[in-house]
Amino acid sequence: MKKLKIMPIFGTRPDAVKMAPLVRELERHPEIKPVVCVTAQHRQMLDQVLDIFRIKPDIDLDIMLQKQTLEQVAARTLDRLSDVLEKEKPDMVLVHGDTSTCFISSLAAFYKKIPIGHVEAGLRTFDKYSPFPEEMNRKLTGALADLHFAPTSSNRANLLNEGICPDKIYTTGNTVIDAMQTTVMDDYVFSSSELRGIPLEGKRVITVTAHRRENLGHPLEQICHAINDITDRYDDVCVIYAVHLNPAVRETAFRLLGSNPEVHLIDPLDVQDMHNLMARSYIIMTDSGGLQEEAPALGKPVLVLRKETERPEAVEAGTVRLAGIERENITALASQLLDDQTEYDKMARAVNPYGDGRASERIVHAILYEFGMRNDKPAEF
């Protein structure tokens, strides 16, 4: 029997974390031939994830440039991927989320009339410029995709509102929860020597990440000032900020926080260190989407350093709060959690609105069904 050739395509750190369990699941099925293609929109940060999950890409487009523009990422991906698709002729490509890799890979597949499966489909803020350019990346990918793997029922509802055929939407949970099942351990020893060198005993740790394009400049400065205010106010708090490799992020973070002894500015962590650091943290402050999904599963309160979120489920469940990007507001919300145990306990409840660890299984099941290789549809998350 001819094998079904499925090509997952990804290129940045978060996409890789969330596609890794799906690659593993594809490999488990003898009737499928997975061909893994990375754009390497990120180089070092992607390679870290590939190492941890022991994934060897079949194709590496190696597109990253220092200080790359959106246009360069788009043009280089489209150009290089088109040749690969022409040669490989996969039965379906799988793209993830809302990065430029996701949208442009979908466009390249569309030009070759290759079916597209969109993993993590249907997240929306309804603000074209925030997150920028991710909101339009995911919307445009949705317009091109043939199968939509929506993590939650509210993501599914967003797609239905855009006129997507209900039969082509599968509610699967988010694959990030699948990934977490293998990474978090009680006796875990950090692989980062920077992290191992930070004395954590007796400290309440606030883990920070902030790097979004729309937060660069003034908003990121406000976030850094808030971090200084918080460590000035609390002797028992230490902040660990894993700083993205984007030079624009690093300049601001090191300029404003570099001389604060209670703030540890460390390099981006590999995914296993990050998940285990979150598990040992008191609070998470972040503008990342993935952390908003992961921390609630660990019962950690999250302050989101943005004006809106496309992930309302954990806000509704009470473990995530929108802190915005104003210094005073961020400081006030963090102080409330640090001062008031009852408030803290209300937020620090483990909830799993994003998945049950079986998203990859449902996605592969749905693909087999769509290609007539299974008779039944997967049960919804």
Tell me the CA distances in angstroms from 238 to 207, 292, 324, 328, one per residue in order: 9, 20, 21, 19
**Choice among 15, 60, 134, 361 that is catalytic:** 134
**Choice among 96, 138, 211, 358 that is catalytic:** 211
Minimum CB separation from ligand UD1 for residue 355, in Å?
19
**C-beta closer to ligand UD1: residue 46 or 320:** 46
Minimum CB separation from ligand UD1 for residue 230, in Å?
24
Judging by DSSP bridges, how do beta strands 116-119 and 204-209 pair with one another?
unpaired
In whole angstroms, give the CA distance from residue 312 to residue 319: 11
Active-site residue, 211 included: yes
Residues that bind ligand UD1 (CB under 6 A): 12-14, 41-45, 66-68, 70, 73, 98-100, 133-134, 211, 213, 245-246
**C-beta closer to ligand UD1: residue 228 or 309:** 309
**C-beta closer to ligand UD1: residue 191 or 335:** 191
Judging by DSSP bridges, how do beta strands 204-209 and 302-304 pair with one another?
unpaired
Minimum CB separation from ligand UD1 for residue 200, in Å?
25
**C-beta closer to ligand UD1: residue 12 or 152:** 12
274 Cβ neighbours under 8 A, 6+ residues apart: 242, 291
**C-beta closer to ligand UD1: residue 64 or 116:** 64
**C-beta closer to ligand UD1: residue 148 or 211:** 211
Minimum CB separation from ligand UD1 for residue 216, in Å?
8
In whole angstroms, give the CA distance from residue 155 to residue 238: 36
Active-site residue, 244 included: yes
The two structure tokens encoding residue 85: 């698709």
In whole angstroms, give the CA distance from residue 231 to residue 123: 34
In whole angstroms, give the CA distance from residue 292 to residue 300: 10
**Choice among 15, 60, 120, 361 that is catalytic:** 120
Among 273, 264, 270, 313, residue whose Cα is nearest residue 289: 313
**C-beta closer to ligand UD1: residue 220 or 348:** 220
The two structure tokens encoding residue 253: 């973070």
Tell me the CA distances in angstroms from 91 to 8, 33, 55, 108, 127, one per residue in order: 11, 10, 21, 14, 34
**Choice among 204, 213, 250, 374 that is catalytic:** 213
Among 158, 92, 88, residue whose Cα is nearest residue 121: 158
Q: In which element (H, E) is residue 338 found?
A: helix 327-339
Active-site residue, 308 included: no
Residue 314 main-chain phi, psi, to 5 deg: -80, -25
Active-site residue, 349 included: no
Minimum CB separation from ligand UD1 for residue 196, in Å?
22
Active-site residue, 43 included: no
Minimum CB separation from ligand UD1 for residue 290, in Å?
8
The two structure tokens encoding residue 172: 């699967």
Active-site residue, 214 included: no
| Distance, first Cα to last Cα, the chain | 31
CB count within 10 Å of CB 7 equals: 27
Minimum CB separation from ligand UD1 for residue 331, in Å?
25
Residue 302 identity:
V
DSSP labels for 243-260?
A: --S-HHHHHHHHHHHTT-
Residues designated catalytic: 98, 120, 134, 211, 213, 244
